[in-house]
Amino acid sequence: MGGRQKQLIRTLKSFSNTPLLCNRSVSLTEYFLGKHSLHCTFSGAVRVMLRETSVEAIQGDSVVLPCSFFTISPLSRLSIIWTMTPLSDPDSPAQVIVFDHGQVIASPAFTGRIAFTGIPWSADVVLNRTRVSDAGVYRCVVSNPPETGDPGIGELSLTVLAPPSLPVCLWEGDTDAGGSVTLSCGVAEGVPTPTIRWEKLQPNPIALPTNMESDMSGSVHIANVSSQTSGLYRCSVTNLLGSQNCYINLSVYSPPHSTPGILQGVLVTLSMAVVLLALLVLVLWLHRSEQERKWRNGREEAEEEDECYNEIRYTPSLIKRSFV
């Protein structure tokens, strides 16, 4: 008996505590392919054993999903079905890949990425170019008619690790002094779940308390904002595979700061300005009135002088006429 057959026999014995009894020696290959006429007795149905119950892969890498089985019947009617149940929808298992009567059929979502590695002796499959959506509970179901009993079933969970995707930063609220502002940050992807951290970068770095609204989003609420609130804010999302950031530049409008002393000073200044303006108007009015008075007086004096001149001018002629 060759080394491969001995190895397979040892593998078979590891699957079962019940010995396989035949009426004559036969190669294991002949037995499993049905190329013999001997009679054997064995109790039990197809048995499935998984070397691992939990497997991890990094997004984009390849991973092997192990599934070994034991059967005492020929493999001409062997059937292997792999199904996957998403973690997000435990009630919706979907077929991944099938081996039936020598034919291999893969689900459209896995076509070109999944394949059996050891048919018909093993039900192992390799999954290439893994995606986050590939994560879930995988079930390996093996049956081999006419073997009696239920099919052999094994389950394992697949976790696909991925760095955080680029987060999205948003803000809402009132940026006038005294208002309230909420800064929010959300990330669509990241396994394990990223930690979310908010901090103010300028003028001095300050870590801010983050309110986790869900596993993939966090926010910061700032009440009674002022000019001191203005600055650059950063949201960081981090897990084992990396970190991503997004930023918000917040500007708060603050009107000029007023105090009672400044207000009183302004009022006093305005009052003094009004008084000075009134005095200036009064001085100008008095000056104009004085000018008008002088002008009137000068005009009256001029008129009186004209009248006196006329009287003196006509008097000699009158005298001359009286002597003639």
Kindly state the percentage of the chain with pLDDT values over 70.
76
Quick: pLDDT tens for 151-172.
889 999 999 999 999 999 999 9
pLDDT tens digits along 93-137:
999 999 998 899 999 999 999 999 988 889 999 999 999 999 999
Q: Report, in this order, helix, strand and coil percent for the chain, each rounded to 5.
A: 30, 35, 35
How would DSSP label each residue in 117-176?
SSTTT---EEE-S--GGG-EEEEEEEE-TT--SSPEEEEEEEEEEBPPPPPEEEEEE--B
Strands 152-161 and 54-58, how do they pair?
parallel
pLDDT of residue 266: 72
pLDDT digits (tens, 9 = 90+) for 233-277: 999 999 999 999 999 999 998 776 555 556 677 777 888 888 888
Distance CA 28, CA 154 (A): 24
* pLDDT-above-90 percentage for the chain: 48
The mean pLDDT of the chain is: 80
